[in-house]
Amino acid sequence: MSILLDKKTRVLVQGITGRDGSFHTKMMMEYGTKVIAGVTPGKGGQKMNGVPVFDTVSDAMEMKPDAACIFVPPAFAVDALWESVEAGIKLITVITEGIPTLEMMKVKNHIKGRGITIIGPNCPGIITPGEAKIGILPGSIFKKGNVGVISRSGTLTYEVVYALTEKGIGQSTVIGIGGDPIIGSRFLDLLEKFKNDKKTDSVVIIGEIGGNDEIEAAQFIKEELKKPACAFIAGKSAPAGKKMGHAGAIISGSSDTAQAKIEALLGMGIPVAALPQDVAGLLK
């Protein structure tokens, strides 16, 4: 079962006529995603991969989308995000990297209490194996099952999931939440959803240096989740004060290090894998 997305979800793609948007729309549709509309200003009336294109999200709402996926370049991605928010779309996935932190803070404050879930920015997306995907996740490595996965890293998501699938361990929903300092949905937001999903029987979190989201997630897992969980934390050799890959992956204090997070997780009874491929063994 999915906590966000299934084969009935009607998806709108913003930036559908661009290089990345058109390619990944095709991949999403081939996987089974119900892409019903696209948006590119000035391209309204065209079709891309058989999908009708509109000039604005407001125009595209006649197709009744449940979710939006944003492939718009950084300079215009915030405007695209605001379009979907103001149109009332309840699930918005932002693949774009490079959105200004202060702009994301404004969006997050605006959507409080409005029932809107934003995944990203700077993320690979969401997948419900065997049903549908939104974003750039490679569908072939996923397997339908009962393990929920939440990750700050796209590449590490693929490594961990591939190892799970190779061991015959399927996934219920896999979500790449993004590596920016301000993201739409944190570990805590999604753990709450997995807690209430009867078809998810265990959870994996994939974290990295920077911030304290993993420690807050561990506290929730210990006190609220009531399901088995394990983790992998990247960045054990990362130097302090230097950004490593993601805008949010920078050690600014002793509690931001990988080792501090690993120790905190272990201290709360949550097993931590030494390598991505070891997660499958911990779940077994």
User: pLDDT tens digits for 99-146?
Assistant: 999 999 999 999 999 999 999 999 999 999 999 999 999 999 999 999
Domain ranges across the chain: 1-121, 138-284
Q: State pTM to two decimals.
A: 0.94
User: pLDDT tens digits for 165-221?
Assistant: 999 999 999 999 998 889 999 999 999 999 999 999 999 999 998 888 999 999 999
Measuring CA to CA, which residue among 37, 26, 265, 272 is closest to residue 133? 26
Class of domain 1-121: alpha beta
138-284 and 1-121 share a CATH fold: yes
| CA distance to 168, 181, 195, per residue, from 253 (Å) | 39, 15, 31
Active-site pick, 152, 193, 246, 261: 246
Catalytic residue at 246?
yes
Q: Which CATH number fits domain 138-284: 2.40.10.10, 3.40.50.261, 1.20.1250.20, 3.40.50.720?
A: 3.40.50.261
Q: Name the one residue in this structure whose structure tokens are 């979800």.
A: 9
d(CA 76, CA 162) in angstroms, rounded, equals 34
